[in-house]
Amino acid sequence: MSFLSHLECSRCHKTHDADRVQNLCDCGGPLLVRYDLKAVARAVRPSDLAGRVSSLWRYREVLPLRDDKNIVSLGEGMTPLFPLPRLGAELGLPDLWLKDEGLNPTASFKARGAATGVSRAKELGITALAMPTNGNAGGAWASYGARAGMSVTLVMPTDAPAMSVLEATAVGANAYMVRGQITDAGAIVGRSAKAHGWFEAATLKEPYRIEGKKTMGYEIAEQLGWSLPDVILYPTGGGVGIIGIYKALLEMRELGWLPENVRFPKLVAVQAEGCQPIVKAFREGKDVSEKWENASTVAQGIRVPKALGDFLVLQAVRETGGTCVAVPDADTMWGLERISRTEGAFICPEGAALVGAARMMLRDGWLDAGQRVLLLNTGAGIKYPDVMTPKLPVIELNATL
């Protein structure tokens, strides 16, 4: 069962009824899901998880579904976490690890948020939703929406990855494109949802996407024997993943699922040099970011000029002693080549930016060789066929190599 209690505004801390359809607080702040964690701690211990379903729903008590019959699942979660010895040796980080979210249904971490978001929408009686997307989120929410029998409308930039466009249309989404950024798509969705009575499921404009993504934090701790890495590097666009992981860390500490003396990992928000609003705000000591004009990067998932939850990302980074880093596209492409060729892990450009960031941070002295460093790859490289365009030699039928 779920120990769902209420919703709390992340800005003004006003409480809201969790069993009503909700978007933002009256003050405009994103709503966060709260649980009766004392009751959870009495009901379940980490050892009780053994033998449970190998998906994010193994953490059922701290997920927001009242009734299991409303769960919409494609088997998301419990993605592999493994060491990268060859890449680590090359970089000078011998204890380097990867959590690979590309093995989720829909081939990205977006499946987690879609699973909990669509499930809760179904439970609350929502039948039609709409959202802007750079690609992967749209494909995920469209897929889970199809499984739930729900209408899904998407608006995405015209340069969204072709595979994500194909995925969304294949599962029946009502998909549109706009000549602009995801913020422009979001404005269209906002007006259209109001006009048609659709539920607006944009990033952090509904409370339940975070709950799926926070399970990455629970999994990391469980997969490492209820210990934690020293540093987690995370590609940051809208920032829900890093917000969710920090939320999981706070919950696990209150539950007593972590050793009393454990230190939280330093959370590192990695952005692209061509779109780094959160990095700029961090460096300037600000609590919120400013819109980044003319955003451009090969890693389209982190091309978010202005994130609604930027203040929550900055809070998570600062409270864990982390930092924010901007990576040039050239370093991202270098990282994609090196992790693919040394480890056989063909990851997405957003994940590859972490490799470039790790090299930069080691050179700058922010990372050191004695730390356990975790790269959190958010998607599969095969979803980005236009990023790498190999040209193979064509040989004759009677050729010998």
> How does residue 1 score in pLDDT terms, banded at 50, 70 and 90?
confident
Q: Is 23 exposed, middle or buried (0-12, 13-18, 19+ CB in 10 A)?
A: middle
Angle between helices 310-319 and 240-255 (to 10 degrees): 50
Q: How far is CA 216 from CA 73, 123, 258, 376, in A?
A: 16, 23, 15, 9
- For the record, the structure tokens of 348 come out as 């997405």
Which residue, chain included where needed, has tokens 């693919």? Answer: 340
Tens-place pLDDT, residues 287-326: 999 999 999 999 999 999 999 999 999 999 999 999 999 9
Percentage of the chain beyond pLDDT 70 is 100
Query: What does the pLDDT read at residue 335?
Result: 98
Tens-place pLDDT, residues 239-261: 999 999 999 999 999 999 998 88
Q: Please tell me whether residue 151 adopts helix, strand or coil conformation.
A: strand
- For the record, the structure tokens of 315 come out as 């809070």
The per-residue b/e assignment along 333-368, b for 16 or more CB within 10 angstroms, e otherwise, is bbbbebbbebbebbbbbbbbbbbbbbbbbbeeebbe
Which residues make Cβ contacts (< 8 Å) with residue 1, sequence separation at least 6?
A: 60, 61
Query: What does the pLDDT read at residue 389?
Result: 84
User: What pTM value is reported for the model?
Assistant: 0.95
